Amino acid sequence: MNYQIDDQVVHWSHGPGKIIGIDEKRLSGRTRLYYVVEAGRTTIWVPVDEAGEKSLRLPSTLLEFKELLNLLTGPGEELPDHQFQRRSELSERMQKRSLNDICFVIRDLIFRSTSRKLNRNDVDVLKRAKEFLLSEWELSLGIPRARAQLELQDYLETI
């Protein structure tokens, strides 16, 4: 087992959480160990043998997080003009589940918004990406969310 009770972790779908227990459950005739993770108002069970980069990980260190933030200030890349191609590309990036990709999604959508109006899907993806990054920001840097939002806005104004 990689994690212990009381460890702070990040779940790729639910964001930051805390391991509050380790339970054994029998499902579909198979008994497995599960991390019990409290993520916000949700409790999730993550199979111990599947807890890795695809589901649970430790929060980013301060140094790792600051390097991620530098990605936000780099030059934005053009996204496809065709809305369905853009939706597909953004969906792929978000499903990669890496903070690098989350930062690139934010950067590229903000860059796009400087010359074109974002459609509803673009706005929704941008919102989800920002929320995920802000949750990690709070956890990794130990600062209040309101301050993280202000700092993120400062970074995005440089694009």
pLDDT at 73: 84
CATH number for the domain that contains residue 24? 2.40.10.170
* 20 located within any domain: yes
What would you measure as the largest C-alpha separation in the chain, in angstroms? 55
Q: CA dist 135 to 10, 43, 121, 138, Å?
A: 9, 17, 21, 5
Do 150 and 107 share a domain, yes or no? yes
* 95 located within any domain: yes
Do 94 and 135 share a domain, yes or no? yes
For residue 90, pLDDT over 70 is answered with yes
Do 98 and 134 share a domain, yes or no? yes
Write out the residue range of the structural domain in which residue 21 sits.
8-57
Kindly indicate the confidence band of residue 88, based on its pLDDT and cuts at 50, 70 and 90: very high
pLDDT per residue as tens digits for the range 11-64: 888 888 999 999 999 888 889 999 999 998 899 999 898 777 668 888 988 888
* 140 located within any domain: yes
pLDDT per residue as tens digits for the range 102-128: 999 999 999 999 999 999 999 999 999
Number of domains in the chain: 2
* 1 located within any domain: no
pLDDT per residue as tens digits for the range 132-159: 999 988 888 889 999 999 999 988 887 6
Contact 102, 133 (CB under 8 A): yes
Kindly indicate the confidence band of residue 83, based on its pLDDT and cuts at 50, 70 and 90: very high
Do 78 and 128 share a domain, yes or no? yes
